[in-house]
Amino acid sequence: MHGRALLVLLCVLGLAAASGLFADVARSVVPPRYCGRMAIKGSPYQVNVDQITCAEGRRFGKRYLVDHAKPSGYRCQDFDSRVGRVRVYCNNGRRVFFLIRR
């Protein structure tokens, strides 16, 4: 009886692991959301976010470029301010916002 219970337990655990593996494969990758353009210090920027709202991304981006204050828990990288290039990229795990100079 003990061997049969162990076999059933291993089958249940194996099915649970397999279903978790296939659940990750079934998810599709979603590109960052476009949140429009805004002018900061006279320069136009395109705002994109992932896993946060557009309002937060716009607010965080403006605050970072004006005051150089990053949001709590975020790591931010500055890049050269060239037209068509990413100017600021900030992330907090899966939460991301970035600004492209236009």
Q: Which long-range contacts (CB under 8 A, 24 or more apart) does 80-89 make?
A: 81/43, 87/45, 88/61, 88/64
Question: CA-CA distance, 54 to 35, in Å (whole number)?
Answer: 5
The reported pTM is: 0.71
Residue position matching structure tokens 């476009």: 34
Question: CA-CA distance, 34 to 37, in Å (whole number)?
Answer: 9
Question: pLDDT for 25-82, tens place per residue?
Answer: 556 789 999 999 999 999 999 999 999 999 999 999 999 999 999 999 999 999 998 8
First to last CA, the chain: 71
pLDDT at 23: 54
Question: CA-CA distance, 46 to 89, in Å (whole number)?
Answer: 12
Question: Binning pLDDT at 50, 70 and 90, where does residue 22 land?
Answer: low
